[in-house]
Amino acid sequence: MTAHQPAELSAQMVKDALDRAGTRGLTFDELVEDTGLTYYQVRYGISFLRESLADLKDSDAVFTYDPREHVYRIVYIPEVAELYEVFRLQGEATRTLRMLAGTVIPHSKLARTKAVRLMRRHLEVVVEDAKDLLAPV
């Protein structure tokens, strides 16, 4: 494989490897070995596959990652899918929380318009609620 190849090609190779693995799934290192791609290409392929898998026609595959076993799958297993959903949502919520608390809210404190001050108050409530949701269970 060349170092510079389309993301679609890396994603297809990752998908093919995960299809062959079935419910067992594959770790990241196993994906590298099975596809013959570099670490970067596999990471790039996983990212592209995760975002585009739902748009594939004639496929009922669902991308999941099991953080307990560090295994990637494209087979729907309810317990793993739920764990992966919570894992992803917490990550996205944490990123959003940091962006709001570290950039948007402090900058909006200097705003002179009523609309921005109102939006800042709403965002402060969102940040406080998010902290409660993201607290370890």
Report pTM: 0.65
My answer on whether 105 and 124 are in the same domain is yes
My answer on whether 89 and 109 are in the same domain is yes
My answer on whether 59 and 103 are in the same domain is no
My answer on whether 14 and 70 are in the same domain is yes
The residue range of the domain holding 62 is 7-76
> Which portions of the chain are predicted below pLDDT 70?
1-3, 56-59, 133-137
My answer on whether 90 and 126 are in the same domain is yes
Distance CA 118, CA 114 (A): 6
Phi, psi dihedral angles at 58 (to 5 degrees): 60, 30
My answer on whether 35 and 13 are in the same domain is yes
Q: How many residues does the chain have?
A: 137
List the CATH number of the domain containing 30: 1.10.10.10
Domain count, the chain: 2
My answer on whether 91 and 40 are in the same domain is no
What residues have CB less than 8 Å from 114, skipping those under 6 apart? none
Check residue 101 and report its DSSP letter: I
